[in-house]
Copies of this chain bind each other. A is one copy, B any other.
């Protein structure tokens, strides 16, 4: 397999990306090749300095960069020689099997949706967020902010996509799906949650456990937690801010360390036809390593095929 990495994406590129690659390669299997995409002279220098070993590494030159503040659609379209645009070209043409970037999130979404496209039957691809539990497990909350307005059918698809991710990538058997709501009983919630509850209950392909409330999001109650992207994004950013507060107050606690969302190494865009992983802008080495590991696992487990099967009914 061949995993493409945007070397220019993220606040600490390319050095943290390079360090992450080194971390990854120290444990990697021999059959994984990495394609490093970015300004060739910079990447060559990293190779020359032996910050990254040269075996199984392929460099693709991309002279342009999409900056963090640029308008996603415009930049993606106009900067054809950017690392993100070239990465998606390589992915679309099968030169790489997965693409990872900690760069401009919007441009990554544009690339995923327009260069790669959604899996047949998926109306709205989604991005999830990990939610840490005290027992060390992770839950996945989705949508985390890509789809601000949702229909009930969208949330049901998020449940399916999230369940497949949780099962095959996080290794959770029969992942429990919870609907984020404002009451435990059926019939509670806004119109979206009420209608979604009915659809989730009828869906026999997932393990729906019912409504969960805000207080359950950080507990090990549901493995996959679905909501619209507005609620999900507010929840994610609130949870992220907890880590900042804990840090400022110099509280040392193993569990609250897990609120350091940067360490999780980005999340895949679920529902597009090929593995695309979007990292946090402030990603450090461990985050890059973890993103490569997730990409590797998505390829090994043939997650894309499993998702396609789920949406054509060939399960």
Binding site for B on A (CB under 8 A): 134, 145, 148-149, 180, 182, 189-191, 193, 213-219, 227-231, 233-242, 244-245, 248-249, 251, 253, 255-256
Contacts and interface: CB of A to CB of B under 8 A. Distances in A.
Which DSSP category, helix, strand, loop or mixed, fits chain A's interface? helix
A240 B238 CA distance: 12
Given A182-B229, A182-B230, A249-B253, A238 B237 contact: no
Given A234-B180, A234-B235, A235-B235, A240 B215 contact: yes
A256 B255 CA distance: 15
A179 B11 CA distance: 28
**Which of A145, A191, A228, A245 counts the most B-chain CB atoms under 10 A from its CB?**
A245
11 contacts: A134-B248, A134-B249, A148-B190, A182-B229, A214-B235, A215-B244, A219-B241, A227-B234, A231-B234, A238-B238, A245-B255
Contacts of A244: 215
A238 B214 contact: yes
Task: Give how many copies assemble into the complex.
Answer: 2
Contact of A228 (B149, B190, B229, B233): B190
A241 B215 CA distance: 5
Contact of A238 (B149, B190, B218, B256): B218
The list of the 10 closest CB pairs from A to B, nearest first, reads A214-B237, A148-B190, A214-B238, A214-B234, A215-B241, A182-B233, A215-B237, A190-B230, A149-B190, A213-B237
A189 B242 CA distance: 22
A228 to B, nearest CB: 7
Contacts of A193: 148, 230
